[in-house]
Amino acid sequence: MRVTMIGAGYVGLVSGACFADFGHTVTCVDTHEGKIAALKRGEIPIFEPGLDDLVASNVKAERLFFTTSLAEGVADAEAVFIAVGTPSRRGDGHADLSYVHQAARDIASAMTGYTVIVTKSTVPVGTGDEVERIIRETRPDAEFSVVSNPEFLREGAAIIDFKRPDRIVVGTDEERAKEVMTNLYRPLFLNQSPLLFTSRRTAELIKYAANAFLATKITFINEISDLCEKVGGNVQDVARGIGLDNRIGSKFLHAGPGYGGSCFPKDTLALIKTAQDYDAPIRIVETVVSVNDQRKRAMARKVITALGGSVRGKTVGVLGLTFKPNTDDMRDAPSIAIITALQDAGATIRAHDPEGVEQAKMVLSNVDYVDSPYQAADGADALVIVTEWDAFRALDLKRIQSMMAQPVVVDLRNIYRPEEMASLGFRYSSVGRGLAD
């Protein structure tokens, strides 16, 4: 089939490359000229494990193409995916739909023949109706369907998630569109991924409900971890003890510095706004957002406490900047709030991240970016583990201990064992394990 992906970002590029790998002919369109020029040169503008090989092999097989010309990409396509960004609108937290609406206008003037327009971007309930209205207004005569097909992939594991999803959600009531979507995803349900057909509005809501639920799960275990610190419990054992219950499940029960990233913060806010607009407030999610916001500042206070109540004039080494390992994505990463709060309190920050430094430089200033965890530790008064990259899991701790001005480690991801750190002479604190000092 001929498929066009509008937006060649984390979702569009991965989805486009995977569809091409299934044998479809895919054109990725992006308005960002630098991104398309890089892709045409064979360079991948983002860090996502395995994506470089997947793109290269499908380009070579002449199934994957890149262009800035939407008209060129859309003209003969049977399915056109909208995978542009839907960030929080400045000021009120509603999803900013200007990129989606622009894409709809551009598609309307370029499409030929029956076309299925698929919204893959995360969009508030009712957006499909608006996309349909925009296209109908421009092209009253055109034959098309607008379908919602939210994406559930996780950055860092995006290819495997796209190719082996837990489910594929397709929101449409139109038989013709269902047939196109079924053909597109056939390789996946042959792999036994369930294809769930719902109404368009329901599909739009499923995506927000899923993200809000996961954000709630994380926030729940984070609050339990605070209680563990007060009463002397171990949050990892609590998580295991509840997670082995199939009704609860073990995923998303890792206590840490609070959720961040390109989706949960903006999607929880957008859901809250939609719910308030329809006079059906989702108070549990409102609380989750507020608890999570406070948590990042609380993590900075944890570092300050570990250094005896003040970081003024002290050097803090930070390991990990991206919101999770295996990505270069810095959008709403907890490191931003934690580092900013430590800088406000007078600390000098020296930071290392395996892939995120280029993006970090755009959002964090006055940080000394270094090339290794050991450089971050050298002469530091405290070392804070913010993101659990594999490279930080087996550090030469003796070496680190001997390099630091003070042997203080604050492990916000619980990747080390308190007893081991104590025996090496560290003053070690982590999240939700034992009594707080």
> Which positions lie near ligand NAD, rule CB under 6 A?
6-12, 29-32, 35, 70, 83-86, 99, 102-103, 106, 121-122, 151, 153, 155, 262-263
Task: Report the nearest approach of ligand NAD to the CB of residue 102 (Å).
Answer: 4
Could you tell me the smallest distance in angstroms from the CB atom of residue 100 to ligand NAD? 8
Judge whether 236 and 313 are in contact, CB under 8 Å.
no
DSSP state of 392: G
Other Cβ atoms closer than 10 A to 245 = 9
Backbone angles phi, psi at 328, to 5 degrees: -105, 10
- Nearest approach, Cβ of 255 to ligand NAD (angstroms)? 22
What would the two tokens of residue 296 be?
Answer: 């990042």
103 versus 111: smaller Cβ distance to ligand NAD: 103
Smaller CB separation from ligand NAD, 58 or 211: 211
Nearer to ligand NAD, 159 or 306 (CB): 159
Residue 107 or 304: the one with the smaller Cβ distance to ligand NAD is: 107
- What is the number of the residue whose Cβ is closest to ligand NAD? 9
Angle between helix axes 10-21 and 51-60 (nearest 10 degrees) is: 50
Contact partners, residue 362, CB within 8 Å, separation at least 6: 330
- Catalytic hit among 18, 28, 228, 263: 263
- Fill in the amino acid letter for 379: G
CB of 45 to ligand NAD, least distance (A): 8
Candidates 169, 168, 92, 102; CA nearest to 130 is 102
CB of 212 to ligand NAD, least distance (A): 13
**Which residues pair with residue 382 across a beta bridge?**
316
Known catalytic residue at 28: no
Q: Which residues does 192 contact at the CB level (< 8 Å), separation at least 6?
A: none
DSSP per-residue string spanning 232-243: T-BHHHHHHHHH
Min CB(405)–ligand NAD separation in Å: 38
Instruction: Select 31 or 406, whichever has its Cβ closest to ligand NAD.
Output: 31
Q: Which is nearer to ligand NAD, 35 or 350 (CB)?
A: 35
Contact 171, 148 (CB under 8 A): yes
Q: How far is CA 53 from CA 14, 161, 342, 408, in A?
A: 12, 16, 39, 41
Q: How far is CA 325 from CA 8, 145, 417, in A?
A: 21, 38, 20
Q: How far is the CB of 84 from ligand NAD (least distance, A)?
A: 4
Coil, strand, or helix at residue 282?
coil
Of 83 and 282, CB closest to ligand NAD = 83
The span from the CA of 383 to the CA of 333, in Å, is: 18
Torsion angle of C-alpha atoms 183, 185, 190, 194, degrees rounded to 10: -120
Q: How far is the CB of 349 from ligand NAD (least distance, A)?
A: 26
Q: Closest CB to ligand NAD among 258 and 407? A: 258
Tokens of 214: 């996961």
The DSSP bridge partners found for residue 317 are 350, 383
- Residue 153 structure tokens: 């992939």
The span from the CA of 342 to the CA of 305, in Å, is 11
- Residue whose tokens read 């598609």: 107
- In eight-state DSSP terms, residue 341 is H
Torsion angles phi and psi, residue 310, rounded to 5: -150, 140
- Report the candidate in 386, 385, 432 with the shortest Cα–Cα distance to residue 409: 385
Which C-beta is closer to ligand NAD: that of 31 or that of 57? 31
The CB-of-11 to ligand NAD minimum distance in angstroms stands at 4
Just list the catalytic residues. Answer: 263
